[in-house]
Amino acid sequence: MSKRIIFILYILLIFLKSQRSKAQPWVRVGYFWYEQEEFPISNIDSSLFTHLVCGYADLNSTSYELSLSDSDRLHFSIFTKTVKKKNPSVTTLLSIGGNTNTSVFSSMASDSFYRKSFIDSSIKTARYFGFEGLDLWWVNSDSSYDMSDLDFLFEEWQDAITSEARNSTRSKLILTAAVNYAPRIHSDNYPVESIQRHLDWVHVRHCDDLMPDIWTNFTAAPMAL
């Protein structure tokens, strides 16, 4: 795996909510995966971005709350402060998943009790570390997704985010997800209506620069890098 690819520049191109508001501002997003140590957070030229996504928080496979190592805590706690030095208006999101075993995600999404643990913990963690949004990175699967579970997850997540913002009188957290380059992944269709209704936008993953030997050799239309 090339350690040089620090920013996964899956620049998002699709604004599913743009039908609602025609004058959507452009969003320029970069993913930062802190595990690639030779590129420190302070080297990010955040002036190039409107949004930066920091990854990845893992899931505890029994409680389904977020599970953070000491190193995660260290990096998450300095991320927002550090990138705002160069660009005070950049918005930061915490990405969940990445390396998480996909069967752990599937178990979480299939049970309303676990979904609630996950959702509550994600909101608490984002607030604690000063992130202004949450991103779900759950696309690296060879197995079949249960898309109706994802539908429930997005709905309940957005409801919790809305309710938390109301209760805390803070700005609402942004909610996004990384998705495949097509409305299908493997043999499943994404819950597109749920995504349109409950997510702010999606990050279209049109290739996998990190693991070309494992993932598909084909790229799709948005691959303009």
Ligand X SMILES: *[C@@H]1O[C@H](CO)[C@@H](O)[C@H](O)[C@H]1NC(C)=O
Stretch that binds ligand X, among 4-12, 16-24, 135-143, 156-164 (CB under 6 A): 156-164
- The residues that bridge with 133 in the sheet, in sequence order, are 174
Stretch that binds ligand X, among 17-25, 38-46, 159-167, 179-187 (CB under 6 A): 159-167
Stretch that binds ligand X, among 71-79, 145-153, 162-170, 190-198 (CB under 6 A): 162-170
Give the one residue of 2, 77, 112, 163 binding ligand X; rule: CB under 6 A: 163
Give the one residue of 216, 219, 220, 225 binding ligand X; rule: CB under 6 A: 216
Say how many CA atoms lie within 13 Å of 112 toward its Cβ: 3
Q: And the tokens for 183?
A: 């409305």
103 binds ligand X (CB under 6 A): yes
Site for ligand X in 41-70 (CB under 6 A): 60, 62-63, 67
217 binds ligand X (CB under 6 A): yes
Q: And the tokens for 168?
A: 């805390």
Question: In whole angstroms, how far apart are CA 127 and each of 109, 142, 150, 168, 214?
Answer: 22, 32, 23, 11, 35
d(CA 153, CA 109): 6
**Interface with ligand X: number of residues (CB under 6 A):** 12
CB 41 within 8 A of CB 79: yes
Give the one residue of 132, 135, 164, 200 binding ligand X; rule: CB under 6 A: 164
160 binds ligand X (CB under 6 A): yes
167 binds ligand X (CB under 6 A): yes
- The residues that bridge with 29 in the sheet, in sequence order, are 51
Quick one: how far is CA 185 from the chain centroid? 17
The minimum distance between CB 16 and ligand X, in angstroms, equals 24
The minimum distance between CB 141 and ligand X, in angstroms, equals 11
Closest C-alpha among 155, 142, 215, 204 to residue 16: 204
d(CA 185, CA 154): 17
Q: Which residues bind ligand X (CB under 6 A)?
A: 60, 62-63, 67, 101, 103, 160, 163-164, 167, 216-217
